[in-house]
Amino acid sequence: MNQKTVIDVQHITKVYGEKNEKQYRALKDVNFKVRQGEFVGIMGASGSGKTTLLNILATMDKPTEGQVLVSGQDVTKLDRNQISDFRVKQIGFIFQDFNLLESLSNAENIGLPLTLQGVKKRKANELVHQVASQLGINDLLDKYPVEISGGQKQRVAAARGLISRPQILFADEPTGALDSKNARELLETLKQVNDEEQVSVLMVTHDPFSASYCERILFIKDGKIGEEIEVGDQKRSEFYQTILNKLGTFDDQEEGTDVI
C-alpha cells in the first residue's frame, strides 16, 4: 500500500459567524490523513459538517483554526493567486449538481481548467480527447450540457475534474442527482481512475452504496470524526453491509451545531 500522505488535516476547527454575533462551531478539532491513491468517504448526518470540511480541504473556505497540509504545504495559508494555482493544478472537484457552464460545449467545459492555466488550444484539445476517451464520453464533446442526461453531465464534470491530472479529487455527493444505474457507472469510473492514476479521492456521501466503493470511511458526528471503518479484505457487497450496519448504530436525527 502506498504510504505517501497527500492530505494531513491537523486540528481543524470552523466557527461560522462573526464575534459579537451568534456563532456556530461546525467543526471541532478534526484530524486525519489521506494517503496517495486512497479512496476515502466522509459520511454523517445532515448538518454534521461534511461539506464544511470538504470546502476547507479544497481551499473554498478557510478554517478558524488548524492547518491542512497537501503534500506538506499548508493550503490554509495560501494567498488568492496561490489558491487559484493550487485549485487548477492540484485538485479536481465534482459537485452534486454538476456545475457545468451552459454556454460552453462539453469539450469547453472539460477544458476549462486548462484554459485558466493558459494551456495552448491544440494541447488542451488533445488532453480533452484523452480524458474523454478514458471516461467513454468522446461522442458528447461537441454537444452542450442541455443536450445530455444527468449521468452524462456528471461524467463531463468528472472529466473536467480530472483534466489537470490532479493529486486529489474532491466529490461532494457526486451521485446525489443520479439514478442507480448512472450512479454505479460513475462510481465504477471514479474507482478505475483512482486505481489507474493513483489520484486520491475524497467523497462526501449520504449513500451507503456509493460509500461501498471507498477503502475507508470517516464518520463525522457533531463536527468531529467519531469513527472510521476500512474495507480491508471485504468484498464490496460485504463492505456495503458493514456500512449499513454501522449507520444503523447511529441515530438518524439531524444535527444542530453548537451555538457559542
Ligand X SMILES: Nc1ncnc2c1ncn2[C@@H]1O[C@H](COP(=O)(O)OP(=O)(O)OP(=O)(O)O)[C@@H](O)[C@H]1O
Contacts with ligand X by CB under 6 A lie at 16, 24, 26, 44, 46-52, 257
Q: At closest approach, how far in Å is the CB of 96 from ligand X?
A: 9
Q: At closest approach, how far in Å is the CB of 49 from ligand X?
A: 4
Q: At closest approach, how far in Å is the CB of 93 from ligand X?
A: 15
Q: Quick one: which of 248, 245, 257 has its CA closest to 221?
A: 257
159 or 201: CB nearest ligand X: 201
Q: Would you state the cell numbers that stand for residue 161, as one nine-digit string?
A: 475534474
Q: At closest approach, how far in Å is the CB of 206 from ligand X?
A: 6
Q: Exposure pattern of 57-88 as b/e (b: 16+ CB <10 Å)?
A: bbbeeebeebebbbeeeebbebeeeebeebbb
The C-alpha atoms of residue 166 and residue 163 are separated, in whole angstroms, by 8
Read off φ and ψ for residue 28, nearest 5 degrees: -130, 105
97 or 188: CB nearest ligand X: 97
Q: At closest approach, how far in Å is the CB of 120 from ligand X?
A: 39
66 or 145: CB nearest ligand X: 66
Q: At closest approach, how far in Å is the CB of 28 from ligand X?
A: 11
6 or 26: CB nearest ligand X: 26
Q: What is the largest CA-CA distance in the chain?
A: 55
Say whether 31 sits in a helix, a strand or coil: strand
The C-alpha atoms of residue 28 and residue 11 are separated, in whole angstroms, by 8
26 or 34: CB nearest ligand X: 26
The C-alpha atoms of residue 28 and residue 21 are separated, in whole angstroms, by 19
156 or 220: CB nearest ligand X: 220
DSSP class of 201: E
Place of cell 461534511: 50
